[in-house]
Amino acid sequence: MVHSPSDAPLVLKLDGITKRFGALTANGDVTLELKQGEILALLGENGAGKTTLMNILFGHYVADEGNVLVARDGQRLAELEPGSPHAALEAGIGMVHQHFTLAENLSALDNILLGTEALSALKSARAPAQKKLAELMARSGLAVNLDMRVSQLSVGEKQRIEILKALYRDARVLVLDEPTAVLTPQESETLFATLKKLSAEGLGIIFISHKLAEVIASSHRIAVLRGGRKVADLPTEACDQRQLAELMVGHEITETVREPGHAGEPLFVMTGVSAGHGREALHDIYMDLKSGEILGIAGVSGNGQTMLARVISGLETPAQGTMTLGNRNLDHASARMMIDIGLARIPEDRHHDGIVGAMSVSENLAIEAIRKPENQQYGLLRFSAMRERARKLIKAYDIRCQSEDSPARLLSGGNIQKIVLARTLETEPKVVLAAQPSRGLDVGATSDVHKRLLAARGRGAGVILISEDLDELMRLSDRIAVIHRGHLSAAEPTETLDRGTLGLRMAGHSGKDAA
Amino acid sequence: MIRFEPRGPVGVSRMIAVPVVAAVVALILAAVPMMFAGLSIFEAYGLMVTGAFGSLFAFTEMLTRATPLILTGLAAAVAFRAKLWNIGAEGQLYAGALAAVAIGTGVVSGPSYILIPAVVLAGALAGGLVMLGPTLLKTRLGVDEVVTTLLLNFVILLFVQMMLEGPMQDPMGMGWPQSEPVLDEAALPKLMARMRIHWGLILALVAALGVYFLLKRTVWGFEIRAVGENAAAARHAGIPVTATFIRVGLLSGALAGLAGVGEVAGLKGYLTADLSPGFGYSGIVVAMLAGLSPIGVVFAALFIASIFVGADSMSRATGVSNYLADLIVAMALLSVLVSGLFLRFKIRFVGANTTREAAE
């Protein structure tokens, strides 16, 4: 929690914003105020309307009703021209998107200057720009090597460039959309330290998040959106995590609790596995998954998790090393073989790898077992049997859809994940690979996924949980290993680890440094 | 500014309405150059309708012309369903015709019930094998099949010409580049006396039902649809993607090969290098017009065939070139491609600045 500037003037006001997309009301009569030097956290689940609201502020969308008011240079609030990002920039609103908008092949300096210079200028005014940026960096603590190409920079550095870009344009309001989604815990702390410094100098900051801990630790005020409406607007000191979570979801939440497990014999073993090349390559992976445990794989996005999941899924053949399940060698296993020996795979990109959107829910539920006798006879599909089983699974896994015949693409992300869970877990697999299983899901769907994974563990399956969410990993895993640049650390019992240690390892420091 | 908003699921009525509207639009657009040619529109289209439907002879001619179009249309439709872009039906048609002539002109002799199936199978096999090469190059090496199948058309046509001027030339043909005639026992029987319509039409209709059944009711069809709609998810779910492509490639090539068999063993009786006026390419239009539905292919082929036959007849009566038919067919393809956009998106005309909107 941060001390709040009590009687500072307003710099921004969103007044009664309503935005509809067809039948969906993305924002309903939302009013939001931001004072000079204030950090406002905008909290809400996926689809609560946070990003839509910020896109209206920045002029990407036009509100159906309501106004955006901005105070320019300490003057009174005045209406901002709707639907014009240019006007928003002019009025001193800077936005750092979740997916950065940088030109990878240009230097950091070029990226910052991009769009600030008149086309007619004969000479680029680099010297004064560099001076101004040096000053900004010293004041804010945002250190970046300006001459490096953006493609060579880390994610944290890219984010710093985005913030510098906004500051260079004299932003008085800075909006950050899910700024910590791609950062290690340490990088997140540095970011929030910077934001506090900037707010102390008078910058108004709005950051969007669904992570409760960071919202409480780093804001003055918290606005909660649910279903497009503002359901709470509270000073941070008056909030606690449970209350915020319930405001976000709209009902009480039962936490998933991991009972002590009975880990058995090693079940799925990888020894010296290397695969792929480039940034996502795997080097000499060793892993021993025991039955009845959840083995967590922590790591910052892009450190080889995707390749690890592809190898275990049977989509990529390792260049070196061996994999075994029980006595069975899996060095050249295909996806088909993995399914047949009872290795269930939940892919990280469920829309791309999990479902065939144009096919029906029942076809998607049957797709992994389409050649099994329950789905076909003499090569002919047994439609009624397929649909009957689909109806059962829809009920058992609470898949919300019009019917088993609706195309799967019409379902929400959470329900698509339930299709994947239903078809993979229903066969009672020995090993479950869950890659980013709750990414992009709301609280309800996430707790559903967690319960299913714990249930699989409970009946003796080994679960490999690849995630970027430390809270999820600490809550579910019996042991956690960290993946960094394609190297996997030895797994250690969760009880002996803390967020700090894991964070350091995710950033590439060895275990000894952390101790 | 124009804004595109995605639509929900598409109903059957709209699926049928789109190609019908596209066909009408094509006919309206084609009226413009017809007016410039000094024709009365109603008279010209009237001549076309009588040319295709006006008498039993006209009608059977139209059906005869539709026969190869149904088969090449099916070849394109089944391949496109798997997103295997076979643009080589023309070449596969000639390969099928060449194989039919190789078997059916006296190398083997026997009764009809042996020779006809032999000719049909040889043609299907030849077409399938021609498509196997590009399919393997795609699945093993990632070579773009659009390029390989398209260019293979010219290779095969030149090969056919070489054969017709060399080893397969008819010694009794007065030096014309044409093959020996297909034996009577190997020829597909006529359906009606004194008409050109032949059993190839029945073959094509059976093939359409077969492809429909395959796609709808069988495991292979399920796998073809899954691979076509999302190959990554299909692979992840353990579907043999490469094997599916090979199956589709063989089937698609075989269907186009059958079109060649019909033309040579059912209609012409001998092979020349101008056997097909682009049936392979028109098959792509047929498939697109049919929305890649095997049953739709039959109706689309009838439409395209009546345009061709009708335009021939109109051209004889008025002296206006029958290239007009190609124009209408091309317009129909463009119209159906554009209407595909209308099928998937709602088009809204709105003011500036709001074009980036999209539901979150």
Residue A324 lies in a domain: yes
Tokens standing for residue B358 = 């999209």
Residue A348 lies in a domain: no
| CA separation for the pair A363, A9 (Å, rounded) | 58
Nearest beta carbon to residue A61 from set B221, B234, B357? B357
- Interface contact flag, B357 A62, Cβ < 8 Å: yes
User: In DSSP terms, which residues pair with A32 in a beta bridge?
Assistant: A14
| CA separation for the pair A492, A298 (Å, rounded) | 12
Quote the number of domains for chain A.
Answer: 4
**Considering only CB atoms, which chain B residues are within 8 Å of A47?**
360
Per-residue pLDDT of chain B (360 residues; tens, 9 = 90+): 565 666 655 677 777 888 888 888 888 888 888 888 788 888 888 988 999 999 999 999 999 999 999 999 999 999 999 999 999 999 999 999 999 999 999 888 889 999 999 999 999 999 999 999 999 999 999 999 999 999 999 999 999 999 999 888 888 888 888 999 999 999 999 998 889 999 999 999 999 999 999 999 999 999 999 999 999 999 999 999 999 999 999 999 999 999 999 999 999 999 999 999 999 999 999 999 898 999 999 999 999 999 999 988 888 888 878 888 888 888 888 887 887 777 767 766 655 444 344 333
Q: What is the ipTM of this complex?
A: 0.85
| A30 shares its domain with A55 | yes
The residue type found at A492 is E
Percent of chain A with pLDDT over 70: 95
**Treating both helix axes as pointing N-terminal to C-terminal, what angle do A155-168 and A185-200 enclose, rounded to 10 degrees?**
10
| A202 shares its domain with A291 | no
| A88 shares its domain with A3 | yes
| A84 shares its domain with A177 | yes
Q: If contacts are CB pairs under 8 Å, which of residues 320-359 in chain A contact chain B?
A: 334-336, 338-340, 345, 347, 352-359
- Interface contact flag, A21 B217, Cβ < 8 Å: no
Could you give the 3-state DSSP secondary structure of residue B102? helix
| CA dihedral of residues B278, B283, B284, B287 (deg, nearest 10) | 170
Mind giving me the DSSP string for B130-156?
A: HHHHHHHIIIII---HHHHHHHHHHHH
* pLDDT score recorded for residue B354: 42
Residue A174, min C-alpha distance to chain B (Å): 22
| CA separation for the pair A253, A259 (Å, rounded) | 18
Residue A406, min C-alpha distance to chain B (Å): 9
Name the E strands within A192-303: 204-209, 221-226, 229-235, 266-275, 282-290, 294-298
Residue A197, min C-alpha distance to chain B (Å): 33
- Please name which of B247, B246, B276, B248 lies closest in space to residue B96, comparing C-alpha atoms: B276
Residue A353 lies in a domain: no
| A266 shares its domain with A183 | no
Residue B338, min C-alpha distance to chain A (Å): 21
Nearest CA in chain A to B232: A353
| CA separation for the pair A445, A451 (Å, rounded) | 10
Tell me, yes or no, if B194 comes closer than 8 A to chain A by beta carbon: no
| A166 shares its domain with A178 | no
| CA separation for the pair A247, A249 (Å, rounded) | 6
Residue A178 lies in a domain: yes
| A224 shares its domain with A276 | no
Show the domain range for A143.
Answer: 102-170
- Interface contact flag, B222 A47, Cβ < 8 Å: no
Q: What residues of chain A score a pLDDT lower than 70?
A: 1-6, 73-74, 119-124, 253-255, 510-515
| A62 shares its domain with A188 | yes
Which residues, other chains included, contact A4 with Cβ-Cβ below 8 Å and sequence gap of 6+?
A: A38, A220, A221, A235, A236, A237
| A293 shares its domain with A220 | no
Tell me, yes or no, if B9 comes closer than 8 A to chain A by beta carbon: yes
Tell me, yes or no, if A370 comes closer than 8 A to chain B by beta carbon: yes
- Provide the residue count of chain A: 515
| A141 shares its domain with A127 | yes
- Please name which of A54, A13, A39, A443 lies closest in space to residue A236, comparing C-alpha atoms: A39
Domain boundary among A200, A232, A253: A253
* pLDDT score recorded for residue B352: 45
Name the E strands within A49-202: 65-71, 77-79, 93-96, 173-177
The answer to whether B11 touches B356, Cβ cutoff 8 Å, is no
Domain with A329 in it: what CATH number? Answer: 3.40.50.300
Which residues, other chains included, contact B175 with Cβ-Cβ below 8 Å and sequence gap of 6+?
A: none
Domain boundary among A223, A253, A283: A253
- Interface contact flag, A51 B360, Cβ < 8 Å: yes
| A238 shares its domain with A384 | no
| A417 shares its domain with A499 | no
Residue A351 lies in a domain: no
Residue A220 lies in a domain: yes
The answer to whether A104 touches A183, Cβ cutoff 8 Å, is no
Domain boundary among A253, A281, A310: A253
